[in-house]
């Protein structure tokens, strides 16, 4: 059994407002969590967050991180891993390619 049944995922991107914490059920569907299933859930939430960011204006000092038309798209972001930042709090570590 995984140490946590539900993890708290925090999503942020430079220049955009942070997303409220997302609670991810690792046993969604009744199956044991695998690295792939957890990564898929986290990536799905991250993509939704990116779509939300696209409708917001970016802070002027962070224009190189702009998401959407004329900026970065999901295909430019490589999901590396989930990082346990504190207790049951997790964030996505990613790289950007151009």
Q: Which residues contact 11 (CB under 8 A, 6 or more apart)?
A: 18, 19, 22, 45, 46, 49, 91, 92
- Residue-level pLDDT at 61: 95
Token digits of residue 57? 């204006």
- Residue-level pLDDT at 3: 65
- Residue-level pLDDT at 32: 85
The tens-digit pLDDT sequence of the chain (98 residues) is: 456 788 999 999 999 999 999 999 988 778 888 888 888 999 999 999 999 999 999 999 999 999 999 999 999 999 999 999 988 899 999 999 98
């Amino acid at each position: 059994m995984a140490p946590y049944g539900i993890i708290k995922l925090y999503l942020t991107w430079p220049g955009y407002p942070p997303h409220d914490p997302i609670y991810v059920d690792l046993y969604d569907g009744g199956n044991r969590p695998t690295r792939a299933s957890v990564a898929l859930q986290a990536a799905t939430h991250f993509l939704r967050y990116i779509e939300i960011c696209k409708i917001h204006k970016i802070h002027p000092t962070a224009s190189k991180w702009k998401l959407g038309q004329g900026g970065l798209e999901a295909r430019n972001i490589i999901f590396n891993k989930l990082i346990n930042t504190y207790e049951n709090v997790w964030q996505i570590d990613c790289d950007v390619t151009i």
